[in-house]
């Protein structure tokens, strides 16, 4: 708690911190309300390709899927918070004040866990709001709520990936550019090759971010994939274990970097 309180002192008056958190919350809330309000449908009577919102079973799938895409705002925030430590030499000041290197390292991981819990709770609040708007039966709120846990794992995975990039590169511009390049282009291309050309579906487990993305597919895409004859039925927990494996890899790699590198 003492480490977290010091991290809080670093960010509580940091405008960028609040701006990126606000972008995540406001854009996600507006998007979800637009889906629930019917503003993003093709036409009257047409199926909502953006996801169902009539029951909590559908709501959790829809909410968590779109929340996973807005997590990139929080990932960029982690990059900025980490690289600022090197740019402004506050990492060295922490050591001068009596911290060990691993305390500095673990403090950021604790921040990642807190942010991940916050993302999950905000998605849950969004779901309850959408459920009330759609008059979904509250007694069924637990249906498919495992999606919230998958969202938590995905968020830790994304933020851990961003943190590791930051430790390796130590420059915010380079780290953010590489994060976005990998997130939007590189891994998408590799996933498409695995999925469409070679139909090696388990290959997604070997992609850091895609292993978590498979936990939260677009609802319409889930139906398309279910109709594919040659696709094996890979359970969600397999992707969850793969994601946890990547998180462990980030931790080990970052810890090694922290101990061995020159500050």
Phi, psi of 46 (to 5 degrees): -80, 150
Question: What are the residues whose beta carbons fall under 8 Å from the beta carbon of 78, sequence distance 6 or more?
Answer: 108, 111, 112, 115, 159, 162, 163, 166
pLDDT digits 0-9 by tens, 124-143: 999 999 888 888 888 899 99
What confidence tier does 214 reach under pLDDT thresholds 50, 70, 90?
very high
pLDDT digits 0-9 by tens, 78-109: 999 999 998 888 888 877 778 888 999 999 99
pLDDT digits 0-9 by tens, 17-43: 999 999 999 999 998 888 876 555 544
Helix-helix angle 56-87:219-226, to 10 degrees: 110
Tell how far CA 234 is from the center of its chain: 21
- Confirm if 82 and 107 have CB atoms less than 8 A apart: no
- Euclidean distance between CA atoms 172 and 220, whole angstroms: 36
pLDDT at 42: 45
Mean pLDDT of the chain: 88
- pTM of the prediction? 0.91
- Confirm if 112 and 250 have CB atoms less than 8 A apart: no
Question: What are the residues whose beta carbons fall under 8 Å from the beta carbon of 151, sequence distance 6 or more?
Answer: 64, 67, 68, 119, 120, 123, 215, 216
What confidence tier does 195 reach under pLDDT thresholds 50, 70, 90?
confident
């Amino acid at each position: 708690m003492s480490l977290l309180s010091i991290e809080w002192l670093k960010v509580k008056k940091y405008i960028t911190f609040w701006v990126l958190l606000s972008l995540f919350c406001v854009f996600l809330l507006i998007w979800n309300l637009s889906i629930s309000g019917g503003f993003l449908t093709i036409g009257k009577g047409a199926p909502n390709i953006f996801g169902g919102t009539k029951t909590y079973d559908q709501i959790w799938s829809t909410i968590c899927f779109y929340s996973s895409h807005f997590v990139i705002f929080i990932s960029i925030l982690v990059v900025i918070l980490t690289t600022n430590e090197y740019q402004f030499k506050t990492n060295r000041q922490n050591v001068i004040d009596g911290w060990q290197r691993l305390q500095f390292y673990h403090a950021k991981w604790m921040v990642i866990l807190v942010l991940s819990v916050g993302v999950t709770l905000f998605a849950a609040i969004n779901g309850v709001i959408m459920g009330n708007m759609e008059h979904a039966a509250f007694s069924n709120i637990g249906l498919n709520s495992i999606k919230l846990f998958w969202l938590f794992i995905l968020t830790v995975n994304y933020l851990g990936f961003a943190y590791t990039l930051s430790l390796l590169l130590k420059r915010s511009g380079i780290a953010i550019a590489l994060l976005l390049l990998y997130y939007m282009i590189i891994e998408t291309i590799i996933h498409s090759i695995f999925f469409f050309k070679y139909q090696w579906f388990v290959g997604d487990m070997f992609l850091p971010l895609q292993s978590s993305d498979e936990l939260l597919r677009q609802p319409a895409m889930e139906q398309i994939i279910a109709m594919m004859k040659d696709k094996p039925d890979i359970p969600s927990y397999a992707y969850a274990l793969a994601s946890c494996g990547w998180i462990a890899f980030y931790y080990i790699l970052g810890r090694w970097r922290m101990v061995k590198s020159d500050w």
